[in-house]
Amino acid sequence: MTMTDVATRIAELRRQLDDANYRYHVLDDPAIPDADYDRLLRELDELEQAHPELLTPDSPTQRVGGAPSGAFAAVRHAIPMLSLGNAFTEVEVADFVRRVEQKLDRENPTFSVEPKLDGLAISLRYEHGRLVQGATRGDGATGEDVTANLRTVKAIPLQLRGDDWPDVLEVRGEAYMPLAAFKAYNERALAEGGKVLANPRNGAAGSLRQLDARISARRPLAFYAYGTGLVEGGKLPDTHSATLQRLREWGLPVSAESRVVSGSDGLLGYYRRIGDKRDALPFDIDGVVYKLDDYADQREMGFVSRAPRWAIAHKFPAQEQTTVVETIEVNVGRTGAVTPWVLMRPVHVGGVTVTRATLHNADQVARLDVRVGDTVIVRRAGDVIPEVVRVMPDQRTPDAVPWSMPRQCPVCGSEIVREEGAAVWRCSGELTCASQRREAIGHFASRRAMDIDGLGERHIENLSELGFVKSVADLYTLERDDLLEMKRRCDERDDTVPGTVKAGKVASRWAENLIAAIARSRDTTLERFLFALGIEHVGESTAKALALWFGDIEVIRRLPWPLFKRVPDIGGEVARAIGHFLDQPGNQQVIDDLLARGVSISDAHPPSPKLREGLDMATLLVDLDIPKITRLRAEQLAAVFKQVDALIDAPEHNFVTAGLPAETARALAAWLDDAGNARLLGEIGGALSRLDVITPAAPTTVTGPLDGQSVVLTGTLSALTREDAKVRLEALGAKVAGSVSKKTSFVVAGEAAGSKLAKAEELGVEVWDEVRLLAFLGEHE
């Protein structure tokens, strides 16, 4: 590359990265997967390192944080950073509005309203559009210079967009830790036996207070702007809401929830709306803020001591409370993880009464030193499980004894073991442990998974205890008589009085209803199915993303783990967890059984063509996390070897010939020596060709004997996969649909076809078996 080429490429990479940041943080409309972002960033970093003269302070690479600084310098705020008065009740809000109305001598004044984020107030100084200083609020008059740390926050632009900003613009807002980052941080800390953060706010404070900005960079914070301070050499609009809009145009993130409303009805309506949404927001808020929208009105109202009279914070119920620990117990989850819990004196927190709180794991109990009888602080945020945050040591009784993990599973008696270096203790009973089975089945049947109505905890316990259901797939072989037998045996065991004739009728209706509910659950979506499998780290949003991007269980279950990283928001740890789950033959068997027993996924579709965008061999090699294989090295390899599986049998010296330094070539050869890694490369080759095959170009252009016909596939075919059948039918012009209607031309029914077959019969739609399908394909292809 010539110097001009390098400079052009650097400018292009910076533009792409800044744009990706803006789309993600300001527009909330991400454009590229995280892995691609990292790839562009690495390429930029490599170019800048090779050409240090082209490095600029506002380059996206300059967010990584510099070496430790001795201490933070003091920053005097030109305009003090005030705090807000609080309102806790509707009456207090009405009083506030009345004060404003009296002073302004006007009814129903207009307010700009926003969520009150629970983070830390910061000030950002932009000169000629460039970020020059970031400071904490401190005591309101003087804060600390935390510029280096704030530069690591990707939501904070280093350079403003547009060109019509004031010469000097001080932006004020809240730096906070998003809940996902908080959870991820704590999960990692727990796994590594490190110190967990008590809440996201402490996480944000800790990150900003780091003298080593590289550590801040690893505790990702986000930012919302909610106002301005000093403005010189330019003018802002006349209202707060219009200013927020300007800030947004200049590339600063502003809450998408901010609104303009009037009078106390408007304020209280907003409070309730945000309150309803609180649990679903990706960050903690502790209330909403009401501000008079018009700056002239604000000036008229003025200030009292350290708070404005033109604004107020309306707080939500507290999320932390104190209570007393009554006992400590353990729970065995669906992956065998043994989690200690406290049962405690009931306490009202975050709007509900709680009696149980999680202690996460044994290390956490040891770190907190929670003992029976202790007074503790519990926290409940959103719909997450309440947790113990801290013990109040001065309220401990002298006879309280430290807790230790039991050696045996309280449910199945198997040994409780801990893997080398891991924080989690696991019951070694696997599927012989009734608790693990129960939890897995309970999760599978739950409302947001397969949604089997009426299959409650107790039924699951009995079914698994009596051996009727050993894996989730066994639910689909249950018959009415099994349920009645279970009920009879339970009554016997529990010594219930022998049933009357009436009770017998009730029981049989109950069994029929449950069987019907199980049958209904067979028709499901890919997203629910994936979530229901109970893969570690695969919650609803990950399941949804997988379904959206890959489209088909048959594709997903054969995918090598690095390809999962192609989905935005799926990182290495989650990708590996999915791969690990799919590598277990037992789990593949369960998937086979479920499909064979009539579970039918209605929304299968080809993988997103986006998966292949920007996916070349070099990217794949980088995604594999091979030691020493940087972007540059991966590109050298790709240029020579062309295909990932070509690396498998290549001798080490060929890597040197391809341009790798000897040490890197050795590291790669050592990595390839591992049979598992070599196999993985082979599988990637296969998976890629499958992704290509099943991404056919516009099937509508096909003309063939099945033109204009709509076909539905159901049940399991033995000679070909459903995906193959679909591709081949489409090649003959058919449209393959997910559900049966009057418009369906015919249904192909395999083994154990369920409700779709019934529907076809009901509507009088023609039904083909596999033999007929194969004969037809043989004749027409």
CB 581 within 8 A of CB 536: yes
Which residue, judged by CB position, is nearest to ligand IVH in the bound state? Answer: 121
Count Cβ atoms below 10 Å from residue 686 Cβ, excluding itself: 13
Count Cβ atoms below 10 Å from residue 534 Cβ, excluding itself: 22
Rounded Cα–Cα distance for residues 146 and 153 (Å) = 11
Distance of closest approach, residue 221 Cβ to ligand IVH, in angstroms: 14
Tell me, by CB under 6 A, how many residues bind ligand IVH: 15
Q: Which is nearer to ligand IVH, 130 or 259 (CB)?
A: 259
116 catalytic per annotation: yes
Residues in CB range of 239: below 8 A, 6 or more apart: 112, 293, 294, 295
User: Considering the rule CB under 6 A, would residue 267 count as an interface residue with ligand IVH?
Assistant: no
Nearest to 714 by CA among 689, 739, 748, 744: 748
Distance of closest approach, residue 484 Cβ to ligand IVH, in angstroms: 59
Strands of 120-127's sheet, edge to edge?
130-136, 120-127, 168-176, 222-232
- Of the listed pieces 27-35, 308-316, 340-348, 596-604, which binds ligand IVH according to CB under 6 A? 308-316
Residues found in the chain: 781
Q: Which is nearer to ligand IVH, 227 or 568 (CB)?
A: 227
Q: Which is nearer to ligand IVH, 116 or 597 (CB)?
A: 116
Q: What is the DSSP letter of 694?
A: T
Distance of closest approach, residue 245 Cβ to ligand IVH, in angstroms: 15
Nearest to 249 by CA among 163, 331, 172: 163
Angle at 636 between CA 632 and CA 640, to 5 degrees: 165
Rounded Cα–Cα distance for residues 621 and 636 (Å) = 11
Distance of closest approach, residue 44 Cβ to ligand IVH, in angstroms: 34
Distance of closest approach, residue 83 Cβ to ligand IVH, in angstroms: 4
Q: Which is nearer to ligand IVH, 115 or 607 (CB)?
A: 115
- Of the listed pieces 112-120, 457-465, 535-543, 638-646, which binds ligand IVH according to CB under 6 A? 112-120
Q: Which is nearer to ligand IVH, 83 or 322 (CB)?
A: 83
Q: Which is nearer to ligand IVH, 24 or 310 (CB)?
A: 310
Distance of closest approach, residue 179 Cβ to ligand IVH, in angstroms: 16
Using CB under 6 A, pick the residue from 63, 116, 246, 437 that binds ligand IVH. Answer: 116
- Per-residue x/- mask for ligand IVH, residues 73 to 102, rule CB under 6 A? ---------xxx------------------
Strand partners, 768: 748
Q: Which is nearer to ligand IVH, 174 or 554 (CB)?
A: 174
- Of the listed pieces 63-71, 110-118, 245-253, 261-269, which binds ligand IVH according to CB under 6 A? 110-118
- Of the listed pieces 57-65, 266-274, 307-315, 518-526, which binds ligand IVH according to CB under 6 A? 307-315
Instruction: Quickly list DSSP for 248-307.
Output: HHTT--B-TT-EEEEHHHHHHHHHHHHHHHGGGSSS-EEEEEEEESBHHHHHHH-EETTE
Distance of closest approach, residue 244 Cβ to ligand IVH, in angstroms: 10
Q: Which is nearer to ligand IVH, 80 or 738 (CB)?
A: 80
> Cα torsion at 228, 234, 240, 246 (round to 10°)?
-90
Name which of residues 273 to 302 contact ligand IVH (CB under 6 A): 289
The rounded radius of gyration (Å) of the Cα atoms in the chain is 31
The active-site residue, picked from 116, 487, 565, 759, is 116
- Per-residue x/- mask for ligand IVH, residues 130 to 159, rule CB under 6 A? -------x----------------------
Q: Which is nearer to ligand IVH, 121 or 617 (CB)?
A: 121
User: Considering the rule CB under 6 A, would residue 245 count as an interface residue with ligand IVH?
Assistant: no
Q: Which is nearer to ligand IVH, 83 or 695 (CB)?
A: 83
Using CB under 6 A, pick the residue from 35, 97, 153, 311 that binds ligand IVH. Answer: 311
Using CB under 6 A, pick the residue from 275, 308, 373, 571 that binds ligand IVH. Answer: 308
Distance of closest approach, residue 82 Cβ to ligand IVH, in angstroms: 4
- Which residue type, as a one-letter code, is found at position 442? G
* Own/partner pairs, 44-53, CB within 8 angstroms, 24+ separation: 44/10, 44/13, 44/14, 44/17, 46/630, 46/631, 46/632, 47/6, 47/9, 47/10, 47/13, 48/10, 50/6, 51/3, 51/6, 51/10
Burial grade of 322 (CB within 10 A; 0-12, 13-18, 19 or more): middle
Using CB under 6 A, pick the residue from 18, 114, 170, 523 that binds ligand IVH. Answer: 114
Distance of closest approach, residue 122 Cβ to ligand IVH, in angstroms: 8
Distance of closest approach, residue 286 Cβ to ligand IVH, in angstroms: 8
CB 213 within 8 A of CB 152: yes
Name which of residues 29 to 68 contact ligand IVH (CB under 6 A): none
> What are the C-alpha distances in Å from 80 to residues 136, 142, 165, 243?
12, 8, 22, 19
Using CB under 6 A, pick the residue from 26, 40, 100, 117 that binds ligand IVH. Answer: 117
Angle at 230 between CA 225 and CA 231, to 5 degrees: 95
Rounded Cα–Cα distance for residues 641 and 658 (Å) = 8
Strand partners, 680: none
User: Considering the rule CB under 6 A, would residue 611 count as an interface residue with ligand IVH?
Assistant: no
Name which of residues 174 to 233 contact ligand IVH (CB under 6 A): 174, 226-227
Distance of closest approach, residue 314 Cβ to ligand IVH, in angstroms: 11
> What are the C-alpha distances in Å from 722 to residues 543, 597, 728, 757?
21, 15, 10, 15
Strand partners, 144: 74
Q: Which is nearer to ligand IVH, 84 or 158 (CB)?
A: 84
Distance of closest approach, residue 311 Cβ to ligand IVH, in angstroms: 5
Give φ, ψ of 598 to 5 degrees.
Answer: 95, 5
Nearest to 553 by CA among 576, 532, 569: 532
Q: Which is nearer to ligand IVH, 274 or 518 (CB)?
A: 274
180-206 core/surface letters (b: 16 or more CB in 10 A; e: else):
ebbebbbeebbeeeeebbbbbbebbbb
Distance of closest approach, residue 453 Cβ to ligand IVH, in angstroms: 42
Nearest to 292 by CA among 250, 252, 243: 243
DSSP β-ladder status, 710-714 and 735-737: parallel
Within 13 Å, how many C-alpha atoms sit on residue 333's CB side? Answer: 15
Look at residue 584 and give its three-state secondary structure: coil
Q: Which is nearer to ligand IVH, 124 or 416 (CB)?
A: 124
Catalytic site positions: 116
Interface positions with ligand IVH (CB under 6 A)? 82-84, 114, 116-117, 121, 137, 174, 226-227, 289, 308, 311, 313
